[in-house]
Structure 1
Amino acid sequence: MSQIFGDFRQDLPESEQCLMISFSPCSVPLQQRWCNNGLSADFVANYLATFFPCNKDDPNSLKRQAHLKSTVSYIANELLENATKFHDENTTASIQLGTYLIQNLVILLATNCSSIRVANQLELVIEKLINSEPEELYIQHLEMLAEDENYLGSGLGFLTIIHDYFAKIGWKIEPLPSEVNLVRVTTMVQVRV
């Protein structure tokens, strides 16, 4: 049975601008995939920026496009890093990154397959994110990072997306009928540009 957490839209229109990219987890080693995440995030950001053309006579249009690129690049990279890091290496299912543009709303999705154990850990992070004040939780994570530079800050990327980009975030976790111990995890970020 599928579970929905946070702000996850299931009603995405098929007629809107959409870009989907799939990454084969078996094609290259993890370290190389990790390096490609930034390139892929920048590609998505540059692609979306074409829908917001610059007018050289309007400095606000240049600023808006630069803001869009940096926002989308950061969020897409964060989503891809999580999808790559938590993708179960025993499956041949692809990691997917998708983006929708609905007027001034950008929706970014990352989908990967994780073990049930990893999904249960994610649910604990989600619960903390949903039931806490984002500002307080963000400061706590930054303080932990200042005290211990090796602190990984479970959920810090999600918090940064919420705090710095005023984005809505949601998750869908659904069983895979063909895989008993795996689930499909889709993380969705919605941000106004």
Structure 2
Amino acid sequence: MFIDVGATSREDAGKMGVKIGTPLTLDTEFKQLGNDRVTGKAFDNRAGCAMLIRGLREMADVKATAHAVFTVQEEVGLKGAKTSAFGLNPDVALATDVSYTGDHPGIEKKQSAIELGKGHSVTVSDAEGCGIIVPESVLRWLKEAAESNNIPYQLEVGAGGTTDASAIHLTRAVEIVDRFF
């Protein structure tokens, strides 16, 4: 990752206290944008946490054991998802994350078929097959849930990196059984 701190050389950056491996965060304030959109720091993970909390509240009458896991270090090796998946060994796991849209500046439509405002993104596979390939029973379950609740969605085949879903999927021998769906 390259972050411009205004230095003219490695030595100049060192004088500022910035070296390779120095933890950094963006100083981005929450701001209103046009068309009912907002910007701010770490929305991808914060939005995922908010969705998970809302989902748990909606599950009050579900007769199943559900674990909510808020993982860490996704961007540096999916570490939290790996340890959580190994420890819990779930029958089914859902991960929330963000997607790049094909109508985003700097992204070509051929890199992502997802469009902003056209519905939630449901991943079919990511990392060009090196990560998760979602079992058909899970895809069917997610699509049926969305359709029965009039929730618009888009299917995504990711060409970039992986998410926590891949780490969970590949951590233990999770058997997906159609009876759950």
Normalised TM-score (structure 1): 0.29
Which protein is richer in helix relative to its size?
1
Q: Which has the higher contact order (CA 8 A, sep 6+)?
A: 1
Q: Point out the structure with the larger strand share.
A: 1
- TM-score scaled by structure 2? 0.30
